[in-house]
């Protein structure tokens, strides 16, 4: 389900993650990578018949707290 328009909840999540990454040059790559993972999680749930809005929420929950993810990404750089 690769989308050209990012769902607002996903965009907000990615913004929150990137707030913890000081290397702004990496934000695009981080956003692309995490969005791809989120869309994969959504695809799995949509295949089970779950509505899109709910799949977005569930995918974000599965990814974990945005602050924790952002700090982990930042420490891996």
Give Cα 24 to chain centroid, integer Å: 17
Give residue-wise pLDDT tens across range 13-44.
999 999 999 999 999 999 999 999 999 999 99
**Spatial distance between the Cα atoms of 27 and 67, rounded to a whole number of angstroms:** 15
**Spatial distance between the Cα atoms of 6 and 13, rounded to a whole number of angstroms:** 11
pTM: 0.89
Whether the predicted pLDDT of 6 surpasses 80: yes
Give residue-wise pLDDT tens across range 41-63.
999 999 899 999 999 999 999 99
Radius of gyration of the chain (CA): 12
pLDDT band at 5 (very low <50, low <70, confident <90, very high): confident
Are 34 and 17 in contact, with CB atoms under 8 Å apart? Answer: yes
Whether the predicted pLDDT of 4 surpasses 60: no
């Amino acid at each position: 389900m690769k989308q050209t328009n990012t769902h607002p909840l996903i965009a907000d999540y990615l913004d929150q993650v990137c707030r913890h990454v000081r290397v702004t040059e990496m934000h695009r790559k981080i956003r692309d990578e995490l969005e791809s993972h989120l869309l994969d999680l959504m695809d799995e749930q949509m295949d089970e018949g779950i509505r899109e809005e709910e799949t977005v929420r569930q995918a974000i929950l599965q990814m974990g707290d945005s602050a924790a993810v952002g700090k982990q990404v930042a420490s891996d750089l």
